Every structure is written in C-alpha cells, then in structure tokens.
Amino acid sequence: MLTWNIGVTINFWLHYRPSLGKPKPRREGVYVDGPIVTVKEGKIRGSFGYLIDGSPYYSFKGIPYARPPIENLRFKAPLPPQPWKGIRDAVDFGPICTQFNFTYQGEEDCLFINVYTKSLNKNDKIPVMVYIYGGSFTQGSGNFFLPDFLLQHDVILVTFNYRLEVLGFLSLETPEVPGNAAMKDQVAALRWVRDNIVQFGGDPNSVTLFGESAGASCVSLHLLSPMSKGLFHRAIAQSGTYNLVQSSGAKERAFRAGKVLGIETNNVQELLDYFRSLNANSLTNLTFVTFTPDEVYRGLPAKFLPVVEKKFPHVEAFIDEEPEKILVEGKVNRLPLMIGYNSGEGLILVKYHVTRLDVYNKEPSYYVPRELVERITKTQLKNFGDRIKRFYVGNKNITENDLSTICDIQTDINFAYNAQRFAHLYTDCESTYFYRFNLVTELNVIKIDLGLTHLKGASHADELFYIFYNYLNKNAYQNNQKLRDIVYRVTKMWTDFAKTGRPTPDNSLGAMWEPYTTKGKEYFNIEDPLSLGHYADRRRMEFWDRLYAEAGLPHISNK
C-alpha cells in the first residue's frame, strides 16, 4: 500500500529509485575564502558553484531559520534561531526532517533554509522565489530542488525544510498543541527571508511563494492566513489547494496513533507526555495505521494535515476559520496568483486503484470527496456515487482496461476541479492566472517510470522536472536542444510571474496568457505550442460543479 502513497511515490522516484542511479555530486568549490554573508544571527560562509549552463552562482545551505524543535519544543510553534559566534559554514545541506521513505530518514533538528543567488550586491534587489515541497505532508525536503533552471532568469531561489506528519501536524486542540506547527515553520522561514534576503542581493518586497502538491495546498493556505500577511507578494500553486484541511478529527487521530504506539488513554496531557518521550522515528509512518474504515478507500492518503485551530488566548493561530469561508468572504491576502493542474494528475494513482476496482465498482460512493460527504445525506451519497460511475463509464463496471478513465476520475476528484474552483472564487479578490500543464516529453520522469507512457497526459509532479534540475532529468535535458528550449519557456513563465505578476508580460513566447475571469474561464495550455483556452476540461468540470452545487458548497456556476 505504501508504494502508491503520492508523497512516498514522488520522493521514491526523485531520490531513492535504485534503477535510476545515484545523484552525481555538484560542481561546487568550498574555499576558506568562500563568500561570507551576515544574517541577523551571525556570519555564514557559503560556496561557489556553477549552474548547468556554466554560469557561476553562490550557494548557502543549511542555515538555521528557527530553533531546533526538540524536547519540550516538540510539536510547538518554532522559536527564532539563536545567534552564533564566529563564522558558521553554510556549504552543506542541513538534515532533512524526520520521515519514513522505506527506511527511517532525517532528524528532528531540521529547520534549515538554503539560498541560491547569482549576486550578493545588496543594491540589486533581485526577485525572490521561495519553494514549498510536496509529499503528502509526510515526505520530502527542500534540499532536493536545485536552482539551475530558475537562476538562468536572474531570480533568487530559496528552499527549506518543515516538519512532517505527526511531528509537524499533531493537533490535540489545546493551547500547547493547537496544530499547524509545520505551517508555522513555513511562516518562520518567510520571516527569515523578509529579514535577511537583502544580504543575498534579494528584494524583500518581491517574494513569490510557490509549491507543488501538498506544497501548493500550503501556498493556498498562506493566501488565507493572517499570520502570513505581508510576507510574500505573489503566489504559485501547482496541483493543490486548501481542500485537504481538517476542521475535525485531528485529536481523535492522535489518540489512535497513541494506541498504535503503545498507550491507550483518554487524557490529552498523558498522551502528549508519552509522545514527547518517544524517539522521533517512532512518530513517522503513522498515516495508514490511523485510517478510519472510510479513509481506506476515500480520498488521498494524506491524513496528518493542516487544521482549523481552536481559538486560545495568547496563542497565534495560523488559521482559525474554515478556509472556504475566508475565501468566499474575500478575507484573503490579496496577491496575484498563478494556479493550475497537470492534464494527467491521476496517472500516479492508476496502479493503486486498479487493485481496488472491485470495491469501487460495488461502492462507487467512495469516489465522493470528503467535503461533499460532510454535507449530504446517505441517500445523496449513494446517488452521487452512482452518477460519478455512470458519467465516466456508463452502465458498466470500470476494468483494468479503463486506465485513462481511472486517471481522469482521480485527476478530477483530487486536483482539477478544486483548482478551478479556487481560481474562480479567488479571482474576485485579485488577478489570477490559470493553467493546464500538458507537456509530454522525455522530461516526464514520473509518467515514464510508472510505465504509463501509452496513456495521455502529464502525471502529477511531472512539471517539476521542467522547473528544477536534478540527476533524473540531466541526460535528457543536456542531449536535446528542443527540451532545453521548452524548459526555458516554462521557467520564463514562472520567473516572469515572480518578477512582474504576469507570466507573459510580452509576446516573446508566441502566445499571451490572459488572466482568468469568471465569465471567460481563461486558462493557458502549457504544451507545445503554447495557447490560450477557455474552461479547461469543461464537460468534466461542469459535472463536478453540479455535485458541489447540490451539496450546497460554493461552486463555479454560482458566479
């Protein structure tokens, strides 16, 4: 079962897949006279490196942006980092956060940030891009995303680590552990950028926050959180929105995790003390074993999640209202937004769902998303499930020959509709640019290694290999001029948005990306060639929109 957890799968392919070889060392020189920068806590020494195009850059890795969240600070909001004396080396990555990637990985002392820049001139005011990694809130690290493709457009790239699974998202609904520790890690990282990025040639007033999958869910939440106000100025959400947030059930899951780990209690303080007594590795790999019977078949396998916090005196909440309410009422951080999804997101879930077709054919109500289930009756639930199955395959069962259909179902349920709905609801607040990523080349690493190249579309996470350089896309990129041109165009759109708030400020790419409007539902086809379209995957989106409307939820056609 673990193999088809989205977070595990992506990190497996990116970093651990034996058949794809091991990462090659970067050409970076570490010298005693390496670049020295002074941040608020002290001096750091970085290293010189060379991008894939041969141009030089500066790299600063493993900089603490918060105090280690260990011992009595476990599960708490991060505290500011402590100052140090002398010069601290920033030439190696800090440890990744504790997680389970087929083996136990990482350390609890993991709140480190990395900065890549081509200039250290404080007067240059270079636009800054801060990336939040995905991985189902259980896996991943900022250390894996390298700057070569983005820095060719003269931006600064910042990546960082945040706490994961139980260590990052435990909520006991108490003032001491209200939840969202990991989201507050991200706020701390953004505050560090605000306070220090000018020392790296960056502009603290031009910060773009971007992320993919769970990272995109985080980006959407930062747009809604008062805690994040003023810390960034543009946002990019790739394949994820706030719909994973929990408003209930987090404390009950904590007690189920405690039972798995050896304590059966109804006392919150006793549970917390027990969790703090355990080795950090014990507090990983607890998602599947805390599933409810319904969760075994419904929704994505991400369950330790951001929560709507209960309000407590003297406790700063990351978010304490339902995200949808904040969005509908327009109480958002009003910033330009770029948001979209990949045409074949569900490819990454196809093989997992093929093994469970007997269940879904008998009980298609498991296709109904949790946010709908919470609003409808049991009779409606059965009706919705039957309609979903009939819409996609008519009056027959789904079989292992219907792989494209399974892909479409999973794409729509988990990614496409919620991305369009978020864009539709947000666009009244600020300019929004919507996309559908449909590039299919040798750079679609996930799709290729899944063995699904005979199916249409770009898989979940495939776009990452057009944005970030790594050892998996190195050969294809270096040996194919057309792919290098495609990467240039994709990263130019991302970085132009970071610089100007518009992904195509001119017609240099051969097509203009127009803002999304509630009437035209404009979107950009990111394929070869680029083009503007209206209402992506319209027939499928209109079907889901009817279900959301009948459930009484905000939807696309009500505006």
Which sequence positions are flagged as catalytic? 213, 345, 460
Q: Is 469 exposed, middle or buried (0-12, 13-18, 19+ CB in 10 A)?
A: buried
Before 81, cis peptide (omega within 30)? no
CA dist 184 to 9, 76, 221, 317, Å? Answer: 26, 9, 11, 9
3-state secondary structure 145-210: CECHHHHCCCCEEEEECCCCHHHHHCCCCCCCCCCCHHHHHHHHHHHHHHHHHHHHCEEEEEEEEE
Q: What is the DSSP letter of 97?
A: B
C-alpha–C-alpha distance, residues 490 and 338, integer Å: 13
Q: Measured on CA atoms in the order 554, 557, 558, 559, is the torsion positive or negative?
A: positive
CA dist 182 to 100, 163, 361, Å? Answer: 17, 5, 37
Q: What is the DSSP letter of 344?
A: B
CB-hemisphere CA count at 13 Å for 240? 31
Nearest to 129 by CA among 150, 148, 152, 113: 150
Return all residues near 185 (Cβ < 8 A) that are at least 6 apart: 66, 69, 78, 111, 162, 163, 168
Q: Is 103 exposed, middle or buried (0-12, 13-18, 19+ CB in 10 A)?
A: exposed
C-alpha–C-alpha distance, residues 538 and 533, integer Å: 11
